[in-house]
Amino acid sequence: MINKIIEEIQNKTVAILGFGMEGISTYKFIRKYLDMHLTIIDKNNPIEKSEFLSIDENIDVIYGDNYLDNLSKYDLVIKSPGVITKDIDVSNINFTSQLEFLLKYNKDNVIGVTATKGKSTTVSLINEVLKNNNYDTLLLGNIGKPIFDEIENMHDDTKVVVEMSALQLEFVDVSPHIGAIINLYEDHLDHSGTVKHYHENKLNIFKYQDSNDYAIYCSDIEPLNSYINDSYNATKYNINLNNNNGINCTYLDDNKVILNNEIIYDTNDSRYLIGEHNVRNIMIVLTIAKILNLDLNKSIEAINNFHGIEHRLEYVGTYNDIIYYNDSISTIPESTINAVKSLKIVDTLIFGGMDRGINYDELVNFLNTGIVRNLICMPTTGYKIEKLITNTSVNVYEIEDLKVAVDKAKEITNKKSICLLSPAASSYEFYKNFEEKGRAFKKFVRDE
């Protein structure tokens, strides 16, 4: 695969667009094999972030407010997913990416998962199941590991499990051998412009599959189910919590997971992953296990022993008889609602973050039921939602700082109940990302 990528890149005018984690990874990969001229393009001066560029005499560097101008003049623009292109004409730009190179030259070994929420948990669980079945595996992509960082460790039998974001999928014209979409909600409007475009990007995971490939989706979630039709050529498997939708349907019946008349899992089994949304994730993973003919007992063992990922319904600890959970990865309303429903005894909810224009009606209606007694509202979305809470039995607190919010939670949360951080919004206003926010929350909880 490496030789094929090199052959495609060499003798072309090549620009690396975006010089964060993935852009640096792309640069290092190319420099290891080729002493070719490169152009590095980023909004900020990449040399200030990466001093090794200052000694590379075979590069041009473009940065500043107009950094996206003139991309069409390059034979190949290797784009990092963090670069937003919704405001420029992309019709004459030859974009590619690490993900597209992987799919072009190794698609048969790729298992890809996308969703608005749940993809990190699902790819991590797939990886654990494969390892428990003695597969050589790599877990890459949007979960935080650039594909090129591990490309030399990809062997002929290595299964590559990739978390795929909408921005990673936007310009690909190849799809993975096994693709799964868990759900599609409203999100990332600041990146994609419209919900329709955001969903179309996600659906590229199925768009270029053929009859030898597999497309797995949750048929009882809209609008996802409405998108799936005969234009997708792969063998389709649908996941359904409600009823049997026929052949290749993984569904629930009396707490049993059934696929093609075979009971493959009992949801009453003792496991660490809680909540209805995690049942869906487990059903997707088991469907992939059946497609790959994995040992079912080994697969179930891995599922039941999996503790989940950091920042997703993460148990922080019990302090002064109050139970704390960190769910900072929940950046949309649906995810926060699922978190509260899964934990059941949430007495205090800390939420709010950057306003990206998402509709919060469903969350407002949910919180107005009084299912959570204490609402600690943080800027900016928390303040907007606060004004819409009409249930007088709910205690509402407007707090700007996360440390103060945690201190208030320690004061007001009932003993033997849960204080949950689940923002239902992006963390970017005050924190670099949800990881930084989640780790700050855990520190504040543990500080006496």
**pLDDT beyond 60 at 188:** no
Q: What is the pLDDT of residues 78-113, one digit of tens each?
A: 999 989 998 899 999 999 999 999 999 999 999 999
Question: Which residues in the chain are classed under CATH 3.90.190.20?
Answer: 314-446
Q: Which of the four pLDDT bands, split at 50, 70 and 90, describes residue 67?
A: very high
Tell which residue, 124, 118, 184, 164, has the closest CA to residue 327.
118
Task: Give percent of the chain with pLDDT exceeding 70.
Answer: 98
**pLDDT beyond 90 at 364:** yes
Q: Which of the four pLDDT bands, split at 50, 70 and 90, describes residue 44?
A: very high
Q: Which residue has the higher pLDDT, 193 or 388?
A: 388
Provide long-range contacts, Cβ within 8 A and 24+ apart, for 293-297. 294/129, 294/130, 294/133, 295/133, 296/264
**Token reading at 199:** 């969903």
- The stretch 141-168 carries a mean pLDDT of 96
The superfamily in CATH containing domain 99-305 is Mur-like, catalytic domain (3.40.1190.10)
What is d(CA 387, CA 187) in angstroms, rounded to the nearest whole number? Answer: 22
Q: Which residue has the higher pLDDT, 427 or 249?
A: 249
Helices 2-9, 98-106: inter-axial angle, 10-degree rounding: 120
Residue 190, pLDDT score: 58
- The stretch 320-324 carries a mean pLDDT of 97
Question: Which residues in the chain are classed under CATH 3.40.1190.10?
Answer: 99-305
Q: Which of the four pLDDT bands, split at 50, 70 and 90, describes residue 433?
A: very high
Q: Which of the four pLDDT bands, split at 50, 70 and 90, describes residue 429?
A: confident
**pLDDT beyond 60 at 192:** no
Question: Which residues in the chain are classed under CATH 3.40.50.720?
Answer: 2-96
Q: Which of the four pLDDT bands, split at 50, 70 and 90, describes residue 290?
A: very high
Q: Which of the four pLDDT bands, split at 50, 70 and 90, describes residue 242?
A: confident
- Per CATH, which fold does 314-446 belong to? Protein-Tyrosine Phosphatase; Chain A (3.90.190)
**pLDDT beyond 70 at 222:** yes
User: How confident is the prediction for the chain on average, in pLDDT?
Assistant: 94
- Per CATH, which fold does 2-96 belong to? Rossmann fold (3.40.50)
Residue 359, pLDDT score: 92
Contact between residue 264 and residue 290 where contact means Cβ atoms under 8 Å apart: yes
